[in-house]
Amino acid sequence: MISILNLIRWKNLVMIAIVQLLIKYAFLEPYGVTTTLDTLGIILLIVATIFIAAAGNIINDINDIETDVINKPDKIIVGKSISEKIAYNLFIILNVVGVGIGYYLSNSVGRSGFFSLFVIISVLLYVYSTYLKQLFLIGNLIISVIVALSILIVGIFELIPNITEQNQTIQFLYFKTILNYAYMAFILNFIREIAKDVEDIEGDAKAGMHTLPIIIGKEKTKYIILGLSLLTLFVIGYYVVDSLYNNQIAVIYFLIFILAPLLYLNIKILSAQIKTDYTHISNILKWIMLFGMLSLLLYTYNVTR
């Protein structure tokens, strides 16, 4: 069981579930927004999302056996703790169930076209693991878009089906806020993906992949990571000054849990030299993403204050 949980990357799946719950119950519900999904509906959306994501993690591990032997030999699961056949079966079952739930949910809200989102994400995760991740930046962009979609999909299901001429302005305003969180998740994950490519450069190079650090070198890649991180720091800093200046609690939260770690991240990027440095950078980014999601609780605080 532990091997299966590690195979599907259960911690990442928990983060997806948390952010989707927070969007509904810490952001939309407290403000009395006109939403579509009831409790069962949001549970089904979460299950569909994490099942498809889990399937993507499994197929990624199956296709990463060659590089993992070099990059992280002590963390190999497929072929060691779990057979490749069992892993493939889990991949198929989770995908079928996840996409099936997505089909039911899309029809239950009267938007059958939403079903295509689940199919597209499932296909992209498979193509990413088998081909796209080997390409220059394409794999990084695709997986970051999928991470952003795991956030945005809540807004799509909760807000769009209930848009009318009378409420479209306010519905789009809430959707824009969710879009901002999706953008933050996209850029932070994009930076993290590049940092992981530097971390895994040895195994990726031997597997014939064409990641950014392999093409332009580790040193140049480091400064690209630094540039993206600085840009993120300035964008979030501007958001705090421009939009949160009159909310003291929110300002303090962002300063301590988002901006300070981002500043620390930039310092660590500048001094990064060896593999463990980039592992540390990747972990910092994951924590920043977590605290970014938890900032949704600030909306509940504003309502109950």
Place 301 in a pLDDT band, splitting at 50, 70 and 90: low
| pLDDT, greater one: 202 or 45 | 45
* Rounded average pLDDT over 104-109: 96
Residue 16 has pLDDT above 90, yes or no: yes
Cα–Cα dist 248/246, whole Å: 6
Give the chain's mean pLDDT. Answer: 90
DSSP state, residue 163? -
Q: Is the pTM of this model over 0.75?
A: yes
Q: Look at residue 150 in the predicted model and tell me its pLDDT.
A: 95
**Confidence class of residue 122 from pLDDT cuts 50, 70 and 90?**
very high
Q: In whole angstroms, give the CA distance from residue 205 to residue 91.
A: 27
Take residue 262 and report the two structure tokens written for it: 């981002």
Q: Which is more confidently placed, 51 or 83? A: 51
Residue 168, pLDDT > 60, answer yes
pLDDT digits over 215-261, tens only?
999 999 999 999 999 999 999 999 888 877 778 898 999 999 999 99
Q: Which of 301, 254, 243 is closest to 30 using CA atoms?
A: 301
| Confidence bin at 302 (pLDDT 50/70/90) | low
Quick check: helix, strand or coil at residue 209? Answer: coil
More confident call, 226 vs 73: 226
pLDDT at 56 over 90: yes
In this structure, are residues 246 and 257 in contact, taking their beta carbons and an 8 Å threshold? no
C-alpha to C-alpha distance for 143 and 64, rounded to whole angstroms: 15
Percent of the chain with pLDDT over 70: 98
295 and 23 Cβ atoms separated by less than 8 Å: no
Return the structure tokens found at 3. Answer: 């091997």
Scan for tokens 């990747």, then name that residue. Answer: 282
- Who has greater pLDDT, 65 or 144? 144
How far apart are the C-alpha atoms of 20 and 2, rounded to whole Å? 25
Q: What percent of the chain has pLDDT over 90?
A: 66
Phi, psi of 173 (to 5 degrees): -65, -45
Check whether 114 has a pLDDT greater than 70.
yes
| H-helix or E-strand spanning residue 179 | helix 168-199
Give the count of beta carbons closer than 10 Å to the beta carbon of residue 11: 11
**Residue in the block written with tokens 């600030």:** 298
Which residue type is seen at 165? E
Range with lowest mean pLDDT among 6-20, 66-80, 207-221: 66-80
What pLDDT is attached to residue 34? 86
> In this structure, is the dihedral angle defined by the CA atoms of residues 28, 32, 34 and 40, taken in order, positive or negative?
positive
What pLDDT, on the 0 to 100 scale, is given for residue 253?
94
Report the distance separating Cα 296 and Cα 30, nearest Å.
Answer: 11
User: Average pLDDT in the 18-40 region?
Assistant: 92
Task: Compute the half-sphere exposure of residue 229: CA atoms within 13 Å on the CB side of its CA.
Answer: 30
The phi-psi region of residue 274 (left if phi > 0; otherwise alpha if psi is between -120 and 50; otherwise beta) is: beta
Q: What confidence score (pLDDT) does residue 131 get?
A: 84
User: What average pLDDT does range 184-209 have in this prediction?
Assistant: 90
Hey, what are 275's tokens? 């593999």
